[in-house]
Each structure stands twice: as structure tokens, then as C-alpha cells.
Amino acid sequence: MKSILYRIYGREKGDKAFVRLSAVLDAFSFESSSGEKDLFSEADTILITYGDSLLKNSERPLRTLHRFASDHFQDVFSGIHILPFFPYSSDDGFSVEDFHTVRPELGSWEDIQAVGHGFKLMVDLVANHVSAESRWFQGYLADEKGFRYLAIEVDPTADLSGVIRPRALPLLTAYEKRSGQRVHLWTTFSADQIDLNYQSLDVLENMVRTLLFYVSRSARIIRLDAIAYLWKQIGTPCIHLPQTHDLVRLFRRILDLKAPGVTLVTETNVPHAENISYFGNGADEAQMVYNFSLPPLLLYSLATGSARIFSDWARNLTTPTERTTFFNFTASHDGIGVRPLEGIVASSQIAWLADRILANGGQVSERRNPDGSNSPYELNITYLDALKDPASPEDPMHIPRFLASQAVPLAIAGVPGVYIHSIVGSQNWTEGVRLTGRARTINRARLSVEAVGKELADRRSLRARIFYPYLKMIRIRTRQPAFHPAAGMRILNLDDRVFAVKRFCPKQTLVAMTNFSADTLTVTLPAEKETDFVCDLISGKRFGGVSIPLAAYQTAWLISDSSIH
């Protein structure tokens, strides 16, 4: 830990940081855990949800969530990621006013911990910024001790043209301190989100204390939000800087020392090579990294009906060690980032995909490029509606196409993450966008749990036709050793329209296939042991040879009778 601090701050300041952090570590004591060998298994699938995505009159939303999850997801999801549940001023929770408090209208820490008793609890450490309405920032404006260097003050004439921007918004925001001094502060994401100055040991100490506080409140997975931008240095792109990686290493080392059973996952919506750099050497940074290329590439591939580019990309999905893995997801509270498509598909194809999203009722958010131009950054739409065929208003293949998209993250190596609005089959919440004026609101609907229950009770409804097949796939997955995140993975070339992956471990071998097209196909498995694969775990059908029929957008998980679990 001390050597990391020396690299970030130099020896003298690093020694001061070490003394301060040692006192913070001594203040927390946790029960011994099983360690890294038990971090992941085939039984792991994480539900992603806001604390108030499901609502019931006169009931705290966190209790509604817990009850719904207990009723429907006990044998489905191993963990639940409750998106920021703290008091906030904007960005649906990510402009945090108080890192240590649960919003009273949601519930309490007791409600959060109740979820953590039945599921692995995943909590956000919003490490990059704090709300302009926060007590911390007000302390900065008043020049209070402990907060005097909280924010990053920048000369507005400085050349910031090389800074990588995730938004088409001004990088600096002017504020007036209580003394009357006017300052220009670094605000990467919005004027309400004040970037934290990690050159300040006060900031470092407060965020380490926050990290351990979450662990003390039952968090078992810590998501490092927007971590790539953590350290700023004028004259650089201010993204993925060595100090940022060292801060991730510091958080990891602290957890290794105090709570080795806690997983660190980095959220970096950037091209793939940059994204996976947060694995570090496989033992010193994140154990899990968001697989950000997966959502847009899968969407593009299903829209084109071809699995070729997707298969080529998946062939190179590797992690440094068996103790690191991907967090595989298709949808989240944010939109579908398209920067991770850079270098995989042409910019003209990204533009084509953006046009398709607009035709399906979505929106396209842009970012500012260093040359001053704008380009697509994020597709704002539910994943379900993103997969509609805009040329076919009725689109009988809509649900099969969507379920095909959800089957792929369950089959490839990693831990699947499932957004609440995907599993309950939500469509675009355009009324929400009208009310808030924010594009991301389109897939952040708050649903009446009673209304959802009535729709799920009608097996003909859109929600039911997605919910129950989806649950079935996850339940099957949790029983297959070959789907362990560390199990082997080999991509098979069977047909350009089919994504096929062989998963294998000493206990089991399995071939997972998904038809990315509207065509009815017959796929021939290669000769070898695959000739023993006679059972499709999803449909229950048995096959006597190597020729396997696939309907439009069908998924089959093929296995020999002797390997069924």
C-alpha cells in the first residue's frame, strides 16, 4: 500500500497518506471471509435496478424491491446491484449529496442490508465527483478545513483541448466562493457534479472511509463509477492516467487487506483495449470489468442478422487470470455506449445504428471531440425497443430477437448482469423523457409493482412472454459447471448467422448456439466429442446426430445426457 502511495504522491506526501489511511483501516473490522477463490461461480447473475424501479403505495420502495426479489428471484439472481440510493441533486442518483446516507423516501440502511442478507449486494462508489449541493462542496466554498482543496481549480485560459470528453458540455464551471473569489472548477459530467481532487489527502481519506463504510453495510461488490477520469493533469487526455490506475490498485489493496471476499468492478465506457486495462496484471486492480463492447456490438449484430463480427470479437475475450472476469450486460440505467464499437465496426455503421435507434423511438446523445466536432456517444432507448425492426410495425420476431440477445451474455465467459427493465420487458418511457428533459430517462421507468404483477399473471402479455423464458434460461445456467466464469471458452465457426461457443471444464462440456438471423437453419456440429451432444437444455429436445435445426433467433444449449446437471 505504501509503495502505491509513493508512486502517486511521492515519498514525503505518501508517508503522510499512509499514516492517515492506516488510521482509517484500523477503524473498521470485518468478519473473516473465504477469499478470492469463492468470488465467482456459474450460479452468479446480478440484477441491476434502482431502489425505486418498483413502487407500491404506502410501502418503502426498498422493501418493495426486496419482496419482489424474494418472491421471483431467489433461485435466479445471486446478487442485486442497487443503483445509488443516496440523497442526490441530479443525474438520478449519481450527483451524490451524502455518501453515507440512504434517501429516506427509499428506506434505510436496514432495508439495504436486508437485501444484502439474501443476495450479494452491489453498491456504487461514485468516486469521481460529488454534488454541488453536498455538504462537502459547501465546505469547499466556505474554505473550511478538510474541504479547502476538495475541487480542482483551473485557469480558464489553460489549453484543455486534449482532454477526452464524455459529454458535449463545458469542461469547466464557474463558482463563487463565500469569500467572493470566483473560481473555475473541473466538472467532467455536469455543472452539478464537481470533480474531486485526489491530490488532496482529505479527499483520499474520505473516499477510502466511504469504501470501507459500504463494506461494513453488507456490500460485497463495489462498482467504481466513471473511474477512468479520476486523476487530472493538464497537458494529458485526463483519462486512464497512471495515477488513476494506482488509485484503483490502492482500493484493491485496501480490500485485500480488510475484506478479501469483496469484489471490485470498474465502470469505464471506453474502447475495449482501454477498458480491460483495469484488470491490471490480474491480481492488483479490478477482479471484474464491465464488458462495454458487448451491448452495442450485440445490438448491431442482431440488427444486421450476422454473427461474424461478433464471433471474431468474442474470440479475443480473455482475462489475465482465472480470478478476473467480465461483467456481461446488455442494458443498464445508462444508454448503450457506442464508443466501445470504435475499431470494431466502421463509423458509418455506428451512424447507421444510431439512425435505427431514432426510428425505434430512441434518442442519440453526443460527445465533444478534441477537434470541436460532435459524435454519437450513447444510444438512449430500452434494449427491448432497440431490437425492433423499424421496417416492420408488427414485427413478429421482436420478442425472439430480444431473448436471443439476452441468451448471449448468459453463455459467454463472465458474470451476467441483467437490468430490471430487461427482465420485466419494459419499453421506452417517452413520457419520462418529456417530464425530465433527459434522454436517459427513457429506460429508467418507475413501475407499479401491482401493475407488473397483473401483466405477469397474463401469460399472453409482452412482459410475461419475456419474463418467464428469461427466468428459465438463468435457472438452467446456474446449474451448469461449464458456465463457470473461469471455464474454457472456444468460439465455433458453424454459420455466419450463428454465434456458437463451446464452454468446457473438467465436469462438463457444452455448446451454446444462438441464431442471429430471421432464417430457419440447420447447423452441423464439427465431428469430435460434439457428436455426443444430444440434448438441448432449453427446449428439452434430443438429437441423434450432429445436425441441429435452429428456428429464427433460437438459442440452443447442447449437452450430452451424461453431463446434464
Residues marked active site are found at 225
Q: Which residues pair with 54 in a beta bridge?
A: 447
Report the length, in residues, of the chain: 565
Strand partners, 223: 124, 265
| Helices 11-26 and 242-258: angle between axes, nearest 10 degrees | 30
Distance in angstroms (rounded) separating the CA atoms of residues 99 and 217:
12
Nearest to 269 by CA among 336, 187, 354, 365: 336
- Centroid of chain to Cα 381: 16
- Cβ-contact 158, 171 below 8 angstroms: no
| Integer CA distances (angstroms), 72 to 239, 361, 384, 455, 537, in order | 41, 30, 21, 14, 21
Q: What sign for the dihedral angle of Cα 158, 161, 163, 167? A: positive
* Contacts of 274 by beta carbon, 8 Å cutoff, 6+ apart: 228, 239, 240, 268
As a whole number of angstroms, the distance between CA 528 and CA 535 comes to: 16
Residue type (1 letter), 307: A
Strand stretches in 338-451, DSSP E: 363-368, 374-380, 415-419, 447-448
CB 501 within 8 A of CB 411: yes
73: Cβ contacts below 8 Å, ≥ 6 apart: 47, 119
Cβ within 8 Å of residue 242, ≥6 positions away:
7
Using CA atoms, how far apart are residues 248 and 230, in angstroms rounded to an integer? 10
Under 8 Å between Cβ of 520 and 551: yes
Phi and psi at 184, nearest 5°, equal -110, 120
Q: Where are the alpha helices (DSSP H) in 95-177?
A: 109-118, 135-141
Classify residue 57 by its DSSP letter.
T
* Closest C-alpha among 128, 304, 302 to residue 230: 128
- What dihedral angle (degrees, nearest 10) is formed by the CA atoms of 506, 507, 511, 514? -120
What would the DSSP string read from start to end of 185-246? EE-SSBTTEEEB-TTSHHHHHHHHHHHHHHHHTTEEEEEETTGGG----TTS--SS-HHHHH
Find out whether 291 and 328 touch, Cβ atoms under 8 Å.
yes
What one-letter code names the amino acid at 234?
Answer: I
Scored b (16 or more CB within 10 A) or e, 109-128 reads bebbebbbeebbbbbbbbbb
- Minimal CA–CA distance to 198: which of 222, 227, 157? 227
Grid coordinates belonging to 209: 472511509
